[in-house]
Structure 1
Amino acid sequence: MGQLRATKPGLLVCVAVCICVFLYLRSSAPEAAEADLTHPAAVECGFYPDELCSALFEGKKAAPQIAKFCKNPPISHILGYVHKARNCSQISRGLRFITTPLSAEEGNFSLAYIITFHEEPAMFVQLLRAIYAPQNVYCIHVHEKAPRKYTRMVQTLANCFGNIFIPSQTQKAAYSNLARLQADINCMKDLVRSKLRWRYVINLCDQDFPIKTNREIIHYLRSKWKDKNITPRVAQTARPPPPPGPGLPESRTEGSIHVSPNEELERKPPHNVTIYFGSAYYLLTRKFVEFILTDSRAKDMLQWARDSHSPEQHYWVTLSRLKDAPGATQDAGWEGNVRAVKWRTEEGIVHDGCKGHYVQNTCVYGPGDLPWIIQSPSLFANKFEPASEPLVITCLERRHRLRVLAQAEVPIEPHWRFQPESHFNMKLHC
């Protein structure tokens, strides 16, 4: 983090004062203000010097004035920028997409992504440009209930980037029935027909963000898993958790996964398959995806789970433990470092508490959670809400891009970099 090092004891107060100066300068410098349009995440939030992010990563608190000043980038700006751009080159450069493989290793190891886009357009853009690489392929499922302008934005991006697409068969991505699972499968059907020969598929939502770079993800897959699926599970069980009794909650948590009671799963599963429960998130090999799209057991399991609650919590982990399934991981438990999540039930055991706020059982990260996030061995982290905690994703994105560019083995294009350390190339002094 040498590039993000704090240099003055009174830095955070200094930044709060200097932001006010920035506001004045921006109002009197139209050319510079227009340049800011190329970086949507910074338009309403102003500019966060690297020293501020470094201080937050080191566990120091941000000045209250800064947190109050920052606002989430307005939806209209994100959508408007994409739609009003004169051409695809302006979109690519303005949104700072990296459009060249950064190393031969990455160019020869393609990944596929399935992203569910629901309600965070600014966050979606930040997530997409963080994981985007021309050798990868991206299936974007826009939630049925999302405004149509979100779909139009994604379609505009798809028209500019040949490796981004909306699935040919859409699905309401609900979180309590087969729809979410079916949405992933719809994307997989299109992905296996892609001209890009991807090795693994990863599913994300618009409240996720990568902790590791594309190259680090590839290293992890090659060194730790070697063509094995990553489908974290809790404990083997032939049946779901029992229904709640009098006075008990309607669901319970086992380990790090939320498992809901499900009377439908009392029925004997097809082919005498042993049911496992685990995470809805995964990293699956291409061969395994081809297997679940054609194998009779996988098809029968899908029908069997049609009326069940949250079948994505048992479908992938169960099929990945069939002996003859490609990339099978029969003995794997809750491992794989897919997501860094602060669960309320693990407070004081796995983590020291949520520094942002809890939404049900999950922590929405605040600035105080940044040290814990960057120390996690996980590939991605969840959950982020830029509207309420904008500093978190802003600093993570800057750190991630610096790491990505530091690992590059090709010349760096100027527009790949985010804004310089100070506005208008001026040094800050207080």
Structure 2
Amino acid sequence: MELMCAIRVIFFLLTTTVIIICLFMESAVVPPKEKIPVPHKMDAKGKMTMKRSLERTRSNILNCDVSNNRSIEEGQLPEGAISHNTVGLTMLISKPSCKALISGKDAEYNEMKTQIFTYKYPYRPKTDYQLVTRNCHNFLRDRGYILNVTSEEIGFPLAYNILMFKDVEQVERLLRAIYRPSNFYCIHVDRKAHFKVKLQIMSIVRCFPNVFLSSRQMKVEWAGYSVLEAEMACMKDLLQRPGWKYFINLTGQEYPLKTNLEIVRILKILNGANSIDATTNKKWKKLWKHLGNPPHKIRTYKGNTHIVACRGFVDYIMNNPIAKDFAKWVKNAVVPDETFFPSLNHNPHLKVPGSALGKTTIASMYTVSG
């Protein structure tokens, strides 16, 4: 009996030892499965959408090839595309088909929405501006900047403000389109932007005598007062530059539909008047109703963040006590910049340069000379 118990104990110990050795060897030989990064949880419908997106993307063009007939062969990754492994699928993220987007095809639009909201950065920048701007002359020549302008453009200089946070290539493409030696350009780089973004844009700016970074950088938060602060930082700097007639504010994600000469001719027709959208729709009162009555009997308006304003309007914003009081009042409003600019432009009793006289025609505006 004692012999049988001893045999069972020995057998149990041997079995346990063998199992431990096998488990150790298995873990040493077979590497752990690599976890697939998943940007966010997806249901079955989302997976099907991604599968369809993959099928369409494989036949999409890259770099907006308007021929729209380039195909992607199995196993090949075209230049400008990035492969992402998501929910068990190998997703090929490419640039959109411009021809399909312009023609209004829903499939292309929906695919781009899927890619934009699924991946934070669909494709990476290719240009190292710290490298290509080492020789500014070559940079301006190779990138195709327009350095010769008409006498009409020289006589009507413009001032641009660009707010940016990322995508240096896109900002440089915008600058290349709107740049003329007769204009002035202030670029505000969000204080929370990546340091590489700041270095790249600084490299570009140093190649131009009339392009500069704002003297103050704000940590810009969407719909907050910091947006207006960033705009006003550039306004202050631009007022130090002489001669310009009109101020235009942009973000780094925009592109002009007109040439500089066409813009100059349009602004000449305005004859000193501002172009600032405004509405008194009651639904927008929620943006400022918690603030009480505005100062100086100002009637509040909701408008667009983008404005085209004469120099006198910009000077009024930065130096007039009424504008300063109103800026303090809108500080705690929602999207204060979209209340600040239109309200100052549509209160006739303030007599702001370039502003609307009231409920009359668009041509009925205060004008400024020079």
CA contact under 8 A between 2:133 and 2:203: conserved in structure 1?
A: no
Larger radius of gyration: 2
Residue aligning to 2:275: 230
Query: CA offset at residue 211 of structure 1?
Result: 1.1
Query: CA offset at residue 95 of structure 1?
Result: 2.1
Residue aligning to 2:326: 301
Where in structure 2 are the equivalents of 1:29-428 lying within 5 Å? 59=103, 75-78=124-127, 80-101=128-149, 103-195=150-242, 197-223=243-269, 225-235=270-280, 241=282, 261-265=287-291, 267-323=292-348, 324-331=351-358
String of CA shifts for 1:98-142, please: whole Å, max 9, x gaps: 1221x2111211111111112222221221111111111111111
Structure 2 CA distance for aligned equivalents of residues 150 and 133 of structure 1: 24
Structure 1 CA distance for aligned equivalents of residues 360 and 225 of structure 2: 24
Cα distance change of structure 1 residues 293 and 261 upon mapping to structure 2, 3 Å threshold: closer
CA contact under 8 A between 2:168 and 2:201: conserved in structure 1?
A: no
Structure 1 CA distance for aligned equivalents of residues 355 and 69 of structure 2: 56
Q: What TM-score, normalized by structure 2, do the two folds share?
A: 0.64
Cα distance change of structure 1 residues 135 and 332 upon mapping to structure 2, 3 Å threshold: farther
What secondary structure does 1:165 align onto? strand
Structure 2 CA distance for aligned equivalents of residues 164 and 73 of structure 1: 29
Cα distance change of structure 1 residues 170 and 332 upon mapping to structure 2, 3 Å threshold: farther
CA contact under 8 A between 2:278 and 2:346: conserved in structure 1?
A: no
Structure 2 CA distance for aligned equivalents of residues 331 and 116 of structure 1: 31
Structure 1 CA distance for aligned equivalents of residues 334 and 361 of structure 2: 21
Query: CA offset at residue 312 of structure 1?
Result: 0.6
Residue aligning to 1:419: none
Structure 1 CA distance for aligned equivalents of residues 95 and 66 of structure 2: 17
Q: What TM-score, normalized by structure 1, do the two folds share?
A: 0.56
Give the CA RMSD over aligned residues.
3.6
String of CA shifts for 1:193-249, please: whole Å, max 9, x gaps: 014x110010111221111111111121122x210111110127xxxx5xxxxxxxx
Give me the identity figure in percent: 29
Residue aligning to 1:363: none
Query: CA offset at residue 328 of structure 1?
Result: 1.3
CA contact under 8 A between 1:139 and 1:167: conserved in structure 2?
A: yes
Cα distance change of structure 1 residues 260 and 104 upon mapping to structure 2, 3 Å threshold: farther
Cα distance change of structure 1 residues 201 and 176 upon mapping to structure 2, 3 Å threshold: same
Cα distance change of structure 1 residues 332 and 117 upon mapping to structure 2, 3 Å threshold: farther
Q: What letter matches 1:93 in structure 2?
A: R
Structure 2 CA distance for aligned equivalents of residues 289 and 99 of structure 1: 27
What secondary structure does 2:280 align onto? strand
Q: What is the total number of aligned residue pairs between the two structures?
A: 273
Cα distance change of structure 1 residues 89 and 308 upon mapping to structure 2, 3 Å threshold: same
String of CA shifts for 1:272-328, please: whole Å, max 9, x gaps: 211111111100101111111111100100111122211111111111224321111
Q: What letter matches 1:127 in structure 2?
A: L
CA contact under 8 A between 2:216 and 2:233: conserved in structure 1?
A: yes
